[in-house]
Amino acid sequence: MAPCVDGYNTRPFGPFMSAEIKSHLVELLTRALAKVAPQQPGSLISLERPKQAQHGDFSCPTAMQLARQLKRNPREIALQLVAALPPSDWLDRAEVAGSGFINLRVKPAARQHVVRTILAEGRRYGSSGGGQKRMVLVEFVSANPTGPLHVGHGRQAAIGDAIGALLESQGWSVTREFYYNDAGAQIRNLGLSVQARIRDKLGAAAEFPADGYHGDYVREIAEKYVNAGNSDGEGLEAVTRFAVAELRREQDADLQAFGVRFDNYYLESSLYRDGRVSGTVDALIATGKTFEQDGALWLKTTEYGDDKDRVMRKSDGTYTYFVPDVAYHLTKWERGYARAINIQGSDHHGTVVRVRAGLRAVSSSWEHGIAAGYPDYVLHKMVTVMKGGEEMKISKRAGSYVTLRELIDEVGRDATRFFLVSRKADTEFVFDVDLATSQSEENPVYYVQYAHARICSLMEQSRAQFPEAGDPEVPAAGNADLGPLTSAREIALLQRLGEYPEMLENACAELAPHQVAFYLRELAGEFHSYYNAERILVPETLLRMARLTLCLAVRQVLGNGLSLLGVSQPAKM
């Protein structure tokens, strides 16, 4: 079993409870409570996981909570609740411990039932939510179109896309949006850089901008510009427009290679073109939340938790960078997204308070203003790429960083996506290229995918060795007698499978897709241990079919989880 990583505690059978088992036990205890204390609401019933496995599968502290209200000994109440429990095919026994805790143990049949649920629900297993879907906009990557995507953008893409998939699994209607910062000083410097390279190519005198872009990709764009039959590069606006379009195409191609798609692209330049930036500034002035000082226009962000007020419009008439961000997020609200989530680098930390302050200020006169926590932020730290024990050399083409495409070319899309989402976003991450390309249990993506492929191989072997038994993957296999699944490793697998829905719910609530990666690593580890310790293709038909059916459920959950992370589920490796 893997060690504790980033707070994911791996006590036996994991930190989550099987939702089906939990719901059943809560119902039993609620009915018992109705007999013992009919005046008390059923909502008092709660279940916990005992810290020690020998204390049972679940523990109920309700008797302790009722003691004061009923003015009775909690142990006596607990004994009465146990005596009043209705019969159950899933509950093995209930025992009163200490001063009034009720410890509950479930029968193997309770855990075995999860296999039938998984096979019946298939891809839907673990998902929840129905009816009217809630809308959420997830914005991620949003790279300036001034160069190729780097590995930090890749981490953001992997996290953002997985968060979108998690939200969809829990009933949200998700829009994935890419915000192009195609305005401002950086875009001007890109245009000047390409323009200088065009002049170099044409043999004309060219002064390279002090803050220009030096990567070989700038020379490539300049060459394309000239080869397309354009002028000598004197028109900066035309050169800039061409360069931005080229880099947008390249970024789109990189994201397509990464398996990441977007539903919408929003241009920063449109905020200026449509008057949204100036309109937002006028709206803020109208609220009385601004003031003028030293020729500049300021926003009273200290009223909303900032450490000092911030300049909105500088003395030269230009806007500071957070003003268009406020205007952009207003469009999200106006488009009906009462929930919005931004996945950004940790260098955007200072933007969070200012954007939220601007949104609260501009909506301060509304009947229902924008909430203080709008939008949600997931800030990720950057990635260090190591190869051969050394940090990977800087890309000559990009000029100052390793590109996402280079990383994909090194280790493949699956490993890149799994690794970049496998740690909490706010932790530093070292991407070990050698580990990502190794075929060993130390490589988590290989280990998980190999478990999936191994089960596919088992099914092939079963069809070849036992043709008279039929195909173990046909729907009828779901009716196999699961009674023989009673060994410790089988119980561990059943328990882990039952934890998947609650793990997904928790990962979604915390916007933490790394929990899915950890879960998959744990499930794969338990399956490999089971495979190595137990013979699955045994001669006894009843036992063989039970074990194969368990393996099918494991494969389904592995496939579901890998799909959420955008990682393939190979049948052979």
Lowest mean pLDDT among 67-71, 129-133, 161-165: 129-133
Angle between helices 236-257 and 216-227 (to 10 degrees): 120
Confidence band, pLDDT 50/70/90 cuts, at residue 394: low
The pLDDT value recorded for residue 476 is 55
| pLDDT surpassing 50 at residue 464 | yes
Q: For the chain, give the percent of residues with pLDDT over 70.
A: 94
Beta pairing class for 340-345 and 376-380: parallel
Mean pLDDT of the chain: 91
Q: Please provide residue 437's backbone torsions phi and psi, each rounded to the nearest 5 degrees.
A: -105, 0
pLDDT at 15: 41
The one-character DSSP state at 12 is T
Report residue 5's pLDDT band, with 50, 70 and 90 as the boundaries.
Answer: very low
The residue type of 409 is D
Please, what is the angle between helix 151-169 and helix 541-564, to 10°? 120
Confidence band for 523, pLDDT divided at 50, 70 and 90: very high
**pLDDT tens string 79-134:** 999 999 999 999 999 999 988 999 999 998 888 999 999 999 999 999 987 667 89
pLDDT at 233: 65
pTM of this structure: 0.89
The helix/strand/coil state of 337 is: coil
Residue with the bigger pLDDT between 373 and 132: it is 373
**What's the mean pLDDT in 367-382?**
95
What are the structure tokens assigned to 385, written together? 């790429």
Is the pLDDT score of 221 beyond 80?
A: yes
Residue 8 has pLDDT above 70, yes or no: no
124: helix, strand or coil: helix
Report the length, in residues, of the chain: 573
Residue 410: how many CB atoms within 10 A of its CB? 18
Helix axes 216-227, 185-201, angle to 10 degrees: 70
Instruction: Give the mean model confidence (pLDDT) for residues 518-532.
Output: 98
Question: At which residue do the structure tokens 């911030």 appear?
Answer: 310
Evaluate if residue 52 carries a pLDDT over 90: no
Looking at 56-60, 422-426, 457-461, 501-505, which range is the least confident one? Answer: 56-60
**Mean predicted confidence (pLDDT) in 7-30:** 65
Q: How many CB atoms lie within 10 A of CB 181?
A: 19
CA neighbor of 387 nearest in space, from 151, 147, 156, 562 = 151
Question: Is a pLDDT exceeding 90 seen at residue 4?
Answer: no
Task: Give the number of other Cβ atoms within 10 Å of residue 428's Cβ.
Answer: 10
Q: How confident is the model at residue 55 (pLDDT cuts 50, 70, 90)?
A: confident
* pLDDT beyond 50 at 2: no
Residue 442 confidence (pLDDT) above 80 = yes
Cα 454 → chain centroid = 26
**Comparing C-alpha atoms, which of 523, 419, 425, 376 is closest to residue 6?**
425
The two tokens of residue 49 are 């996981």
CA separation for the pair 408, 447 (Å, rounded): 19
Give me the pLDDT at residue 57, please: 87
For the cut 80, the answer to whether the pLDDT of residue 471 exceeds it is: yes
Sheet holding 340-345, edge to edge: 264-267, 172-180, 134-139, 340-345, 376-380
* Whether pLDDT at 511 is above 60: yes
Report the DSSP pairing between strands 134-139 and 172-180. parallel
Q: How far apart, in whole angstroms, are the C-alpha atoms of residue 408 and residue 150?
A: 11
Task: Give the 3-state secondary structure of residue 339.
Answer: coil
**β-bridge mates for residue 101, sequence order:** 97
pLDDT for the residue numbered 49: 83
Specify the pLDDT at position 6: 37
Question: For 202-337, where are the alpha helices, taking DSSP H only?
Answer: 216-227, 236-257, 268-273, 276-287, 322-334
Please tell me the least confidently modeled range out of 302-306, 333-337, 450-454, 478-482: 478-482
Q: How many CA atoms lie within 13 A of 473 on its CB side?
A: 14
Q: What is the pLDDT of residue 478?
A: 61
| Segment 540-552 mean pLDDT | 95
Summarize the confidence of residues 528-554 as an average pLDDT: 96
More confident residue, 41 or 206: 41
A 10 A CB-CB count for 2 gives: 15
